[in-house]
Structures are given as C-alpha cells and as structure tokens.
Amino acid sequence: MNIILLGPPGAGKGTQAARLVDERGMVQLSTGDMLRAAVKAGTPVGLQAKAVMEAGELVSDAIVSALIGERLDSTDAQGGAIFDGYPRTQAQAEALDRLLDERGQKLDHVIELAVDEEALVDRITGRFTCASCGEGYHDRYKQPLKAGTCDVCGSHEFKRRADDNEESVRTRMAEYRGKTAPILPYYDAKGVVRRVDGMASVETVSKAIDEVLDA
C-alpha cells in the first residue's frame, strides 16, 4: 500500500502520518529527510547528491528518483510508503509511477485532508495553551472553566504560537495550494484522489482514512 498524504498545516497530517507508521508499519518518505540521511550514510546516491549540493546546484529529479528507489527496496519499507512533500510536479509524479511499477507496485491512493480556509483561520487563530502543562484551549470553543486558570494544573500562564495569526495561516494555505496545484489534476485524472474532511475530530479523520485504506 503506497499513498500520498496531502493536507495544509493545521489539518492534522503529521498526526495521521505518525499513526499510520505506528499502526500499519508504513514508512513516511520525505525527500528532505531521505536526502540528509543518504548524504550522512554516504550511499552512492548520497555522495552524488552531496557533490551537487556543494556545487550550489539543485538536486535533480533523477537523483531524487534514485533515492526513493533505494528507500523502497529497504526492508523497513515493506509495509508500504507514505510520500510526504513529493511529488511536487507532474514529471515527478510520472517518475514515481515508473519507480513503483518497476517494483510491481502502484500508488494506491492520494488522500487529501480537505479544509475550509475560513474555518481553519477561525480554528488556528483562537488557540492557546497552558504554559505549564500544555493543555490546549480556544478563545471561542474551549475557554478555561475559571477565567485565567488552567483547568488541569491551575497555572495562570498561557501562551500562543507567534505564527497562529490570520495572515500566517492564509500564507501557509496559499503555499499549500501552490504546491499541490501541479499534481492534483494528474492524480484526479487517474481517479485515485480521496478527500477526507480534515476539519473533523482526529478520531473521525482516522476512521475515514482507515476506510479508504481498507476498502
């Protein structure tokens, strides 16, 4: 089972990927991580990539494909792969199809955690946490029972992430759309895109993804 998991920041993609790794023995393949690991391990492809990067050039699609091939053949990838941040272009998507095809595999699903941008802005900009125990709160949906006091630990200190503001959320959404726009039509045409409501609870999203994978 090989999938691509797509979702803008705030849709819970990281949580879902970690769960699939835990529960299904899948591996999460992020090209950035793979590249760093291959360079560090000094694999043939890693050495090639290192030379290119030291020359200040971009790592070519051919090198990235070779890296992914190396990784798909490793024993820990036998439970299937979750591609993260790759492919980014139609050429890369076609290269990935060839890589999988050479191994008698295919890309089974592209699962997109779909979000409503306005609802996402509302969700993210209102959230804050207890500075002491980390309990999560929200301006509109989950205020502490006693104003200014954490329900769990009684602390009076709370904090907000600096990038949890509307402008930052809209910028991240625009970046996400820019990254997925080149590949979604390719996969839509193949009929492999499954959209899951990324605004639902973690449990509901998990269940919806499991239904897709087990169908």
Residue 119: both structure tokens together: 């609802």
Residue 194: both structure tokens together: 């499954």
Least distance to Zn ion, CB of residue 161, Å: 16
Binding letters toward Zn ion, positions 127-146, x by CB under 5 A: ---x-xx-x-----------
Given 19, 142, 160, 172, the catalytic residue: 172
Handedness of CA 179, 69, 63, 38 (dihedral sign): positive
| Interface with Zn ion: number of residues (CB under 5 A) | 8
User: Which residues have CB under 8 Å from 212's CB, separation 6+?
Assistant: 109, 111, 194, 196
* Residue of 155, 172, 210, 212 interacting with Zn ion (CB under 5 A): 155
Kindly report the number of other CB atoms within 10 A of residue 92's CB atom: 20
71 has catalytic annotation: no
161 has catalytic annotation: yes
Of the two residues 37 and 152, which places its CB atom closer to Zn ion in the complex?
152
Contact 111, 3 (CB under 8 A): yes
195 has catalytic annotation: no
Given 19, 88, 142, 160, the catalytic residue: 88
CB burial readout 62-86, b (16+ within 10 A) else e: ebbbbbbbbbbeeeebeebbbbbeb
36 has catalytic annotation: no
Instruction: Pick the piece of the chain touching Zn ion (CB under 5 A) from 28-36, 88-96, 104-112, 151-159.
Output: 151-159
Binding letters toward Zn ion, positions 6-45, x by CB under 5 A: ----------------------------------------
User: Which residues have CB under 8 Å from 82's CB, separation 6+?
Assistant: 2, 3, 4, 5, 17, 20, 21, 26, 27, 28, 29
Instruction: Pick the piece of the chain touching Zn ion (CB under 5 A) from 34-42, 60-68, 118-126, 147-155.
Output: 147-155
Q: Which residues in this chain contact Zn ion in the complex, by CB under 5 A?
A: 130, 132-133, 135, 150, 152-153, 155
Active-site residue list:
13, 88, 127, 161, 172
